[in-house]
Structure 1
Amino acid sequence: MKNFLGVGISVGLLAGIWTQVSMELALVTWAAFVAWACYFAAGGGRTGFTRGLAANISGALWGWLASLFLNHATFTGAIAIAVTVVAFILCMQAAVGVLSFIPGAFAGTAVFFGTSFDLWGTLIALVAGACLGWLSDLLGQRIQRAVAQPA
Structure 2
Amino acid sequence: MSTLFAISLTTGLLSGVWGWVAVSLGLLSWAGFLGCTSYFASPTQGVKGLAISLLTNLTGIGWALLIIYGSQWFGSEIIGYMLTGIVSFFMCIQAQKSWLSFIPGTFIGACATFAANGNWQLVIPSLLIGGVFGYLMKASGVWLQARSEAKLVAAQQSH
In the superposition, the TM-score normalised over structure 2's length comes to 0.89
Match of residue 30 from structure 2? 30
Cα distance between partner residues in 2 of 1:120 and 1:76: 26
RMSD over aligned Cα atoms: 1.4
CA positional deviation for 1:66: 1.6
CA positional deviation for 1:40: 1.6
Task: Give SS of 1:122's match.
Answer: helix
Q: Residue by residue, what CA displacement relative to the aligned partner does 1:11-63 show, whole Å, maximum 9, x if unpaired?
A: 11110011122112220100111111111211321231011111111011111
Cα distance between partner residues in 2 of 1:124 and 1:65: 19
CA positional deviation for 1:78: 2.5
CA positional deviation for 1:71: 2.1
Match of residue 78 from structure 2? 77
Q: Residue by residue, what CA displacement relative to the aligned partner does 1:77-97 show, whole Å, maximum 9, x if unpaired?
A: 122112101210111100011
Mean Cα displacement is larger for which, 96-105 or 133-142? 133-142
How many residues are treated as equivalent by the alignment?
151
1:86-97 to structure 2, matched below 5 A, reads 86-97=87-98
Task: Give SS of 2:56's match.
Answer: helix
Kindly indicate whether the alpha-carbon contact (under 8 Å) linking 1:59 and 1:108 is maintained by their aligned counterparts in 2: yes
Mean Cα displacement is larger for which, 29-38 or 69-78? 69-78
Mean Cα displacement is larger for which, 116-125 or 132-141? 132-141
Match of residue 127 from structure 1? 128
Cα distance between partner residues in 2 of 1:78 and 1:15: 41
Q: Which has the larger radius of gyration?
A: 2
**Uncovered stretches (5+) of structure 1, i.e. residues with no partner:** none
Q: What is the percent sequence identity of the aligned residues?
A: 28
1:108 maps to 2:124? no
**Uncovered stretches (5+) of structure 2, i.e. residues with no partner:** none
Cα distance between partner residues in 2 of 1:46 and 1:145: 19
